[in-house]
Structure 1
Amino acid sequence: MSPLLFYFAHIAVLAYALVGGVFLAFSDFIMRALSVTSGHGGAEAMQAINREVFRWVFMTLFLGLAAVSLALAVYSGFWMNGPVATLAAAAGLVYLVGCFGVTVVFNVPMNEALAGMDLSQEATRTYWSGTYVPRWTFWNTVRTIACGVAAALLLVALTSLSPAWPA
């Protein structure tokens, strides 16, 4: 692994963990808290969260990791070999499929459906509590796990490449 990629991979481990931490907060307590609000409070709050998520910090990490993960998988597949290559490529692929792919295929469409709903309608409350919260949280938990697995795989790969610690 080139020295530059080696250092970028360290940053990617941290970024995987940071993005996973955001998703963990939603799966662990934010969605549960939003689901117990009265009326349409949870749905309204989630509509606002979904608008605000496009701020540059989270989206830079989220989208940047997709590009980094693709580069990591390709580089590991073509220019590395052995267990380290397998671990690094797997880390990139786990993020691409389990986090980025799940977001595009499952979470974003649900966010878009919720965004177009009228909060004064009973159908919104029904969708929110019966469909959105359980399904969105399930897929968000998949994203959380994928980020954690990607971070762990890449950390193990980097640890394997690191020089031995002095005794």
Structure 2
Amino acid sequence: MMDGPYFVLTLAAALGCGLMAGVFFAFSTSVMRTLGALPPAQGMAAMQKLNVLIVNPLFLAVFVGTAGLCAVVAVVTFVLWPDPGTLALLLGCALYLFGSFGVTVAANIPRNEALAKLDPEAPESVEPWRSYVREWTAWNHVRAVGALAGCAALVLGLTA
């Protein structure tokens, strides 16, 4: 059974993954559905504001901090290979780093940046907004699954 700082770091990474999975789940099941159901100008303006306000110290501490923890846990786990649970730990770290953090950087942030350039009141912004909601939400589902699966794998690694 793992103990000491390695245990604490891994537990913190698992909790961070779980917390981020919850954030992404809430966005997919309620926030994006609500914004998509509003008149386009209102939904777009609300999402533009949300994209600004979510970049705050608390959110970034959990989102980026979890990525940092997963990176550290992965390095330590490679050093300890092939101790019990190391495969699950590496899988959990990879799921969060690539399936959640990486997807955010590669898919969600570029869409947010494109949305920021649109005028909510312009009629020509309606179709890009509809595409944004559909595509962003699909990638958000991927992030939610990546974070939740990462959490589960880390927990399994902790119990090995």
After TM superposition, the score normalised by the length of structure 2 is 0.94
Q: Whole-Å Cα distance in 1 between the matches of residues 140 and 69 of structure 2?
A: 21
Query: Gaps (5+ residues) in structure 2?
Result: none
Distance 2:135 2:44 in 1: 14
Mapped to 2, the partners of 1:126 and 1:40 lie a distance apart of 11
The residue that corresponds to 1:139 in the other structure is 139
Shift in Å, 1:82 = 4.1
Kindly indicate whether residue 55 of structure 2 is the aligned counterpart of residue 69 of structure 1: no
1:26 aligns with 2:27: yes
Counting matched residue pairs gives 159
Q: How does 1:40-119 map to 2 (within 5 A)?
A: 40-119=41-120
AA partner of residue 27 (structure 2): F
Residue 159 of structure 1: how far off its partner (Å): 1.4
Question: Which of structure 1's runs of 4+ aligned residues deviate more than 4 A?
Answer: none
Three-state SS of the structure 2 residue aligned to 1:157 is helix
Work out the CA distance in 2 between the residues paired with 1:103 and 1:128.
18
Relative to structure 2, which stretch is displaced further, 102-111 or 70-79?
70-79
| Aligned counterparts of 2:40 and 2:116: Cα–Cα separation in 1 | 17
C-alpha distance in structure 1 between counterparts of 2:59 and 2:20, whole Å: 7
AA aligned to 2:59 is: F
Q: Hey, what's the Cα distance between the residues in 1 that align with 2:23 and 2:67?
A: 16
Name the SS for the 1:40 alignment partner. Answer: helix
User: Could you say if the C-alpha distance between residues 93 and 68 of structure 1 is closer, same or farther in structure 2, counting changes exceeding 3 Å?
Assistant: same
Deviation at 1:125, TM superposition (A): 1.4
Quick check: 1:19–1:58 contact (8 Å CA) kept in 2?
Answer: no
Q: CA deviation at 1:123?
A: 2.1
Q: Is the 8 A contact 2:104 2:143 kept in 1?
A: yes
- Which amino acid is the alignment partner of residue 109 of structure 1? P
Structure 1 stretch displaced more, 32-41 or 72-81: 72-81
CA distance in 1, matches of 2:61, 2:123: 36
Give yes or no for contact 1:87–1:153 (8 Å, CA) kept in 2: yes
Hey, what does 1:154 align to over in structure 2? 154
Q: Percent identity?
A: 35
**Alignment check: 8 A CA contact 1:77 1:86 kept:** no
Q: Which one scores higher on RCO, CA 8 angstroms, separation ≥ 6?
A: 2
Tell me how large the CA RMSD over aligned residues is: 1.2
Is 1:6 the counterpart of 2:7? The answer is yes
